[in-house]
Amino acid sequence: MSENPAHDSLFQPIQLGAIAAPNRIVMAPLTRGRATDDHVPTAIMVEYYRQRATAGLIITEATGISQEGLGWPNAPGLWTAAQTEAWKPVTAAVHAAGGRIIAQLWHMGRIVHPDFLGGEPPVSASATTAPGQAHTARGKQDYVAARALPLDEFPRLLDDYERAARNAKAAGFDGVQLHAANGYLIDQFLRDSTNLRDDTYGGSVENRTRLLREATERLISVWGADRVSVRLSPNGDSQGTDDSDPASIFGEAAKVLQALNIGFLELRQPGPDGTFGQTDVPQQDGLIRSIFTGPLVLNSDYTPDDAAADFAAGRADAISFGRPFISNPDLVERIRVGATLAPNTNVPQSWYFPGEAGYTDYPTLAETKALA
């Protein structure tokens, strides 16, 4: 239990599918850009994740399922043997520290710049262009028009998801999460602003959730349903991806995932400092909670007090914290004793720059007291 009775609920154990979490403080996916140019995890990533192993569960930074799907410099992947081997020390270190860790599997769709694809255009649900600019090794560049994924390429795409899931198992993870949020590929299929198709993957909400269902089924074929989770972002505009009737599409997505009996569902909710778009939009978590009966994890800009309040109100079964875990490797202990959280300094440079600065050099509460 915590030293602040209002936070006691966050320290209750919870079963997230097959994963027994000792507390309800989940580490959210956080892109940090510390892998090699070939998207191979590095030694400092071992220490970074080990430092945060007291989380009830760690969800890794978004991890590419293929070169086609990964358009972020130095983000890690899970499609090659070298990448898979380099993840093994990470999972081993987390387990040795008593933690649990799952891999978030990522295809960015139209958010991938051609620089990552040998000059070829990215793929998406339809031939659309994301707003804004991509972060590339050559600096910021405008996004380009995607090509609509043809029907004969869906088997290959689904094979990529399954291969990454198998590699995650070989690397020693405790499960996987399908990234279906934030305007990336599967979200581009879900929402009608980016899915303009008139075939079996477009039009009706049943068709637009088809790829979500098929990709989740591939992950389940490797892991079993109770070690698979999904992240959705049932909010407004996410990187130019939006929907005219979010309640209908995300309600249908919840039905799909309920039928598949996945281990848990994570929802990224827009907060006052949201990264991906609008914050003044109706929330869909109540609707989704009425449909999806498994564990529900909410995320985005939570304070410990807000997290405890939403748990007490029945909105969520656990809360995933993102940015607080950057500068507070011992976030769980700080919440337990009611300590002030360390602020993120040198932001956003420290989020993505290579090296240990702003990555593994944040002191724990005990270390701070010892220095004082």
Question: What are the residue numbers of the active site?
Answer: 184
- The number of C-alpha atoms within 13 Å of 24 and in the hemisphere containing its C-beta is 28
Distance (Å, whole) CA 312 – CA 2: 15
The SS3 of residue 295 is: coil
d(CA 168, CA 314): 32
DSSP letter for each residue of 156-183: HHHHHHHHHHHHHHHTT-S-EEEE--TT
CA distances from 178 to 89, 147, 236, 274 (A): 22, 22, 20, 21
Give me the sign of the Cα torsion angle 239, 240, 245, 249.
negative
Cβ atoms 206, 212 nearer than 8 A: no
Contact 32, 77 (CB under 8 A): no
Spatial distance between the Cα atoms of 130 and 194, rounded to a whole number of angstroms: 9
Q: Is 125 left (phi over 0), alpha (psi -120 to 50) or beta?
A: alpha
Burial class of residue 170 in the structure, from the number of CB atoms within 10 Å of its CB (0-12 exposed, 13-18 middle, 19+ buried): middle
Tokens representing 273 are 């400092």
**What are the strands, taking DSSP E only, across 2-154?**
14-16, 19-21, 25-27, 57-59, 63-64, 101-106, 123-124, 133-136, 139-142, 147-148
Per this entry, what is the length of the chain?
372
Per DSSP, 188 falls in state H
